Each structure stands twice: as structure tokens, then as C-alpha cells.
Amino acid sequence: MEFAKTVEAARRQAGAWKTEGCTIGLVPTMGYLHDGHASLIRRAAADNDKVVVSVFVNPMQFGVSEDLAEYPRDIERDGDVCRQNGVHLLFSPDAGELYPDGFCSFVDMSGLTDALCGRSRPALFRGVCTVVAKLFHIIQPHTAYFGQKDAQQLAIIRRMTADLNLPVNIVGCPVVREPDGLALSSRNKHLNPAERKAALCLSAGLAEGRRLLENGETDVRRIKAAVRAPMEAEPLARVDYAELVDADGMRPAAAAHRPLLCAAAVFIGATRLIDNFILDAE
Ligand code: AMP
């Protein structure tokens, strides 16, 4: 496996592979890799000749009061996970490499970014779109892989790629969970044992919402209340949002809409967790 810390080195390696006629799959991450990331990497390895993983804790997508400084990091371990899962290039630039002095160009989006996580975290998607656009230009992958765990992010990346005519296929991959239902997340590391137990209120709420929808419930308020109920009953939890939206446009949607995204975010102590499910047309 190759390592690159600079844009120039990453571009040179990816460019050489493309000249040889190899297909390249890119998996953008913020590191502290877990089995959710590994599932994206394995999919990229199955689909492509070469797999590039980026590890970059993107300061642009964190608000001033958010957890940039506390975000978990372990680049040695990330290297092991990459090696074990068939990665060919690990690109881990410093912030100054991607945002040198004088940097002042951004990718902004309206509409899709106003709901859900974008409403709670106004800096988030400008940072995500800007860094992903940069990574696409640096690596020039044929295909890039994103998790359904961040369903709004996936919809936004699809939209940006189409709107800006970026020549990259976008593939969404299913949510990977712990056996008890908690979605894997780098931030789970921050949960103490009591919080880890409490965090199950998120997947429990979504499971209840899914049950109501699958049993034909059409009252959106009742469904949202059912999703919130286990979180509101949990003393260590504070609900950020629980919403039903159309999965492409992120606008409030009727229960019968397909594809329907049911998404929720909750603070467990100081740790913010998100999860969701999508109901597709039968
Ligand atoms: P992150 O490092 O959290 O920014 O995530 C990098 C990529 O991995 C994103 O496309 C995420 O959606 C994806 N991802 C994170 N957690 C999971 C999970 N539990 N299952 C599937 N994909 C995930």
C-alpha cells in the first residue's frame, strides 16, 4: 500500500494508475476506521482495479462549538484497516495541504442542505461539498463510495456531482450496525458504558417508526412522535431531530411517499449520533 500526504503525491500516483488503464475507486473518510468504512472499502475493491482511501478530519465542516478537537484519530490503526481490506493508496493530507493560506473557494448548495443535519450544523455541507469536490479533482476516481448512514450527505453528493458535471459515479452502501442495532460511527468511541447503552434509543426509535409505516400508519406526526418516544424517555439523550422527508430532495414528505427517508439525530451526553432508514418503492 502506498501513502500520500501531499496533493501532488496523491495526484501523481492516481494519475499513473489511470495512465495504465486501471479503474479507481475512492472512499472519502474522516478516519478512525471501523467496519462501516471497511464495507465501503471492500465494495470499492470488488468494483475497481485500485482503491484510494482518504483520511481527513475536515475542519471546514465543523462549527466553532463542535467536536473538531475531540474527533477520534488513529492513523496507524487506519493504515492497518486499509491494508487488510485491499487499499492501494492511503491519502492523509494535513489541513494546510488542502486549505493553504489564501484559500477562499467553496462549493455551496441550497435547498437540500437546509434540512436535517444541515439545519443543526450550518457549516457541515459547505465543508463536505468543498472537500469532496477537491478530492474528486485530485484523485479523479471513476467511482466514489459513500455510506447510507449519512443519507443526506449521500443525496447532496449525488446532486453536486450531477450539477457540476463531475465525471464520477456515486455508489451508496448500506448502514453497518453493531449486533444490538447501534450504527457504527467513529464517534461511538466517546460513549461511556452508560451512554453506549442509552444510545440504543436512536435505533429503537427508528425501528418503531419503521414498524408503524410498514403497518400502514399514515399520520406523519404520530410516526415522528413514535421515533422520538424512546429518545425522550432516555435521561442521557436529547433529541436533535426526527423527520420524514423525500429521500432525494430532503423536503417534508407524506408517509406514502417513496423513496421515504426517516432520519433522526440525538445527543447522548456530548456525543451527537445520527441514523436513518429508507423505504423504497416496492
Ligand atoms: P466518516 O469517516 O464518518 O466521515 O464516514 C466516511 C464514510 O463512511 C461516509 O460515506 C459514511 O457514510 C460511511 N460510514 C460511516 N459509518 C458507516 C456505517 N455504520 N455504515 C456504512 N457506512 C458508514
Give the model's pLDDT for residue 106: 98
Place of cell 420524514: 244
Q: Are residues 201 and 162 in the same domain?
A: no
Q: What CATH number does residue 244 fall under?
A: 3.30.1300.10
Residue pLDDT, tens place only, 58-98: 999 999 999 999 999 999 999 999 999 999 999 999 999 99
**pLDDT above 80: residue 28:** yes
* Helix/strand/coil for 55: strand
Band of residue 115 on the pLDDT scale cut at 50, 70, 90: very high
Residues with a catalytic annotation lie at: 37
50 domain-assigned: yes
Among 173, 204, 234, the domain-final residue is 173
**pLDDT above 90: residue 48:** yes
| Ligand 1 contact via 29 beta carbon (within 6 Å) | yes
Q: Are residues 53 and 27 in the same domain?
A: yes
Q: Are residues 138 and 6 in the same domain?
A: yes
Region 12-26 average pLDDT: 98
282 domain-assigned: no
C-alpha cell at 215: 403497518
| Ligand 1 contact via 43 beta carbon (within 6 Å) | no
180 domain-assigned: no
Are 192 and 162 in contact by the 8 Å Cβ rule? The answer is no
What is the C-alpha separation between 175 and 209, in angstroms, rounded? 17
Which letter does DSSP use for residue 121 in this model? Answer: -
The chain-wide mean pLDDT, for the chain, equals: 98
Ligand 1, pocket-test mutation among 150, 186, 203, most atoms within 8 A of CB: 150
Q: Are residues 91 and 136 in the same domain?
A: yes
30 domain-assigned: yes
Q: Which atom of ligand 1 is nearest to the CA of 149?
A: 12
Q: Are residues 219 and 262 in the same domain?
A: yes
118 domain-assigned: yes
Place of cell 409505516: 213
| Ligand 1 contact via 85 beta carbon (within 6 Å) | no
**pLDDT above 80: residue 282:** no
125 domain-assigned: yes
| Ligand 1 contact via 30 beta carbon (within 6 Å) | yes
Give the model's pLDDT for residue 219: 98
192 domain-assigned: yes
Q: Are residues 24 and 163 in the same domain?
A: yes
Residue 22 to residues 18, 82, 142, Cα–Cα distance (Å): 5, 19, 10
| Ligand 1 contact via 150 beta carbon (within 6 Å) | yes
Q: What CATH number does residue 8 fall under?
A: 3.40.50.620
Q: Are residues 86 and 156 in the same domain?
A: yes
Q: Are residues 52 and 132 in the same domain?
A: yes
Q: Are residues 7 and 139 in the same domain?
A: yes
Domain extent, residue 270, equals 186-275
Identify the CA nearest to 94 among candidates 4, 209, 189: 4
What's the pTM? 0.98
In this structure, which residue's CA is closest to atom 14 in ligand 1? Answer: 147
**pLDDT above 90: residue 281:** no
Band of residue 144 on the pLDDT scale cut at 50, 70, 90: very high
Q: What is the CA(192)–ligand 1 centre distance, in A?
A: 21
